[in-house]
Amino acid sequence: MPRLNVVFITHTHERIARSVMSMAGQTRSPDILIVSCDGDSEKIRAEVARAAGFIDRPVLLVTRPHTGEARPAQTRNNAIRALEERVGLQDDDRLVFFDGDCVAPSNVLAIHEEALQSRELSLGWRIELTNSQTEKLRNGEAGSTFSDIADKHQQNMVRATMRTYLRRNLQRKLGLTKPHKPQVLGANFGVVASTFRAVNGLDETYTGWGMEDDDFGRRVYASGGRPALRLHDCVVLHQHHPTRSTRAWKDNEQAHRLDSGFATVCEHGLENPLPQPEPHVVECCPNTSSAPSLING
């Protein structure tokens, strides 16, 4: 049976423990759980260790010193390189990626796994929690599903986004939309390992905020990958906090690259990564005898 590998990426210790802890309640548990960091602070290690104790299972932690600019593409690729080196990766394995500030309701992994049985790419969505919703989640006062937590306005926004994605997917098949649409949301997507390898992972020349996920989707579509659109029921919860994104999508200096020519296989990706400090990989294990080894159990 294909393995279900889950990756959280983060650049800070804040909120990562709560996000990882959401894996404890999944109806389909992850086989391997990885946290990959665009940084190497001791606070990140402490929070991941705390989460490992809560979920009673080991977590593979990948860290390296921050390079002075955000590198979310490289951070995701670092996770898969560590996975291949430590545990191995089969072509039919599934890879599911979340942002480290997003909590996954209990059915999210099961939905990704089901979607990837017939498609190469699974697309979920994210809602922005209010401060009060985040506090209820943090205090254990919220339910376990999207409909338990989201208000009517948020639910309507998700339904409207799903309709937009269905339309764009039809337009893509007819050649009537931009090649990266329906776009991948980096906070919540899944991909078959062979497809991830075929396009050389995420393009590490995308740095700063955004666009690396749009570019990834564009290259997956160009390689023949088909999306499963599960935005209506595969929704993660973004914990409220100040955002690093201060501009509209179209104002990002890298947005123009998505309208230009490109190679399906990126030059600097899973193979041939951009220079970086050597990543450090450790296994954060809970202090319980019942927890299996990540590699052996």
Report, as an integer, the average pLDDT of 28-44: 97
| pLDDT band with cut points at 50, 70 and 90 for residue 245 | low
pLDDT value at position 295? 43
Which has the higher per-residue pLDDT, 63 or 148? Answer: 63
pLDDT value at position 149? 86
pLDDT value at position 296? 37
- 235 neighbors 126 (Cβ within 8 angstroms): yes
Domain ranges for the chain, please list them: 4-284
Confidence check: pLDDT of 244 > 60: no
pTM: 0.94
Confidence check: pLDDT of 127 > 50: yes
pLDDT value at position 243? 67
Residue with tokens 């390689």: 223
> Which of 44-48, 64-68, 140-144, 168-172 comes out lowest in average pLDDT?
140-144
Report, as an integer, the average pLDDT of 256-275: 90
Report the relative pairing of strands 121-123 and 59-63 from DSSP bridges: unpaired
Max intra-chain CA distance, the chain: 56
| pLDDT band with cut points at 50, 70 and 90 for residue 140 | confident
Confidence check: pLDDT of 153 > 50: yes
Assigned CATH topology for domain 4-284 = Spore Coat Polysaccharide Biosynthesis Protein SpsA; Chain A (3.90.550)
Structure tokens at 3: 């393995």
Report, as an integer, the average pLDDT of 203-231: 95
- 23 neighbors 55 (Cβ within 8 angstroms): yes
183-200 pLDDT per residue, tens: 999 999 999 999 999 999
pLDDT value at position 141? 65
Confidence check: pLDDT of 260 > 90: no
65 — phi, psi (to 5°)? -55, 145
